[in-house]
Amino acid sequence: MEFFTDFFVGPIMEMVKAPEFLAEVAIAGLMSGVMYSLVGLGFVLIFKASGIFNFAQGVMVLFAALNFVGLMDSGVHPIIAFVATLVIMTLLAIAIEKLVLRHLVNQSQLILFMSTIGIAFFLEGFGELIWGGNVRPLHVGIPDDVIFIANGSILIQEADLFAGVTAAFLVTVLALGFRYTAVGRALRAVADDHQAALSVGIPLNHIWIIVWAVAGFVALVAGIMWGTKLGVQFSISIVALKALPVLILGGFTSIPGAIIGGLIIGMGEKIAEVYWGALFGGAIEEWFAYIVALIFLLFRPQGLFGDKIIDRV
């Protein structure tokens, strides 16, 4: 009974008592949610175009950030470093297509999934072999002051705000691009039916390279945002695992789903940690997202925005 009160009543009371604090927690959560969204976005892109569940997306974020910060640390101008990293990510996309994906055409999704785990391990070792495994601070001129709003009762990191805006911009561009450009249409065609896409003359290999390169671009942006906040380090790739529950929530094929899922998870786990964490001995952030996903899987496996899975005989 006591637990019941602590679980259901106490936290609500606290929220009501200090709404500004709640807002602050929620906004902080939203901001880390944006990061999840960005990683999730990379997943969705690749999944939509190739049906591949890219486990390496998180490591790609780390890899992109490592390259970027590594180049900058060697004295390269941020913009040149950015472009150079983009080139690297594109080369990576080509390499992955040539060395891995094209040899696995027609394999089951499970095999493709496991191959991306292999890619993830390789990239992680490779990135750290080149750039070292130390935490590297990243300063690209993103403002990192603190803003106070609502009469100074709510505190917001400027960097978070910047990240939010960038993410929103990126998502809009990608969503529009997916819908209105020729490449975007091709991508959707491929996602629907590989054979059909081939028969209308779209080279599948090119599509895959483009998609992986775009995912690399998204990874770079996400990497820069996170690097600014936390420094570039290995934990980025582990945190990126959170993108998986984000996708369960949002649906694997939905770009808006990835965004909204990311925000919900980000906000949810912060609020849960702050208001309920103590009740369970803390650190429930570690698993909160996964348990939410688990519950979703039980009741709505296609996620909030995903397509219903229809089997054909």
CB of 13 to another protein, least distance (A): 24
Helix, strand or coil, per DSSP, at residue 123: helix
What is the maximum alpha-carbon separation in the chain?
66
Alpha-carbon distance of 202 to 311, in angstroms, equals: 26
* Phi, psi dihedrals of residue 65, rounded to the nearest 5°: -65, -40
Report the residue number, 217 or 252, with the smaller CB distance to another protein: 252
Report the residue number, 109 or 199, with the smaller CB distance to another protein: 109
Report the residue number, 107 or 153, with the smaller CB distance to another protein: 107
Closest C-alpha to 93, from 210, 171, 173: 210
Residue 134's contacts (CB-CB under 8 Å, 6 or more residues apart) are 233
Alpha-carbon distance of 143 to 158, in angstroms, equals: 6
CB of 40 to another protein, least distance (A): 12
Residues making contact with another protein (CB under 8 A): 53, 55, 99-100, 103-104, 107-111, 113-115, 117-126, 128-129, 132-133, 238, 241, 244-245, 247-248, 280-284, 286-287, 290-291, 293-294, 297-298, 301, 310-311, 313
Report the residue number, 34 or 123, with the smaller CB distance to another protein: 123
CB of 125 to another protein, least distance (A): 3
And the tokens for 232? Answer: 């570039």
Closest C-alpha to 223, from 233, 214, 213: 233
Alpha-carbon distance of 34 to 37, in angstroms, equals: 5
CB of 281 to another protein, least distance (A): 4
CB of 104 to another protein, least distance (A): 6
The residue to which tokens 């175009």 are assigned:
49
Q: Are 44 and 252 in contact (CB under 8 A)?
A: yes
Report the residue number, 16 or 309, with the smaller CB distance to another protein: 309
Alpha-carbon distance of 306 to 57, in angstroms, equals: 20
Report the residue number, 223 or 245, with the smaller CB distance to another protein: 245
Report the residue number, 82 or 136, with the smaller CB distance to another protein: 136
First to last CA, the chain: 52
CB of 313 to another protein, least distance (A): 6
CB of 262 to another protein, least distance (A): 15
Q: Are 158 and 146 in contact (CB under 8 A)?
A: yes
Alpha-carbon distance of 67 to 199, in angstroms, equals: 38
Report the residue number, 69 or 221, with the smaller CB distance to another protein: 69
CB of 248 to another protein, least distance (A): 5
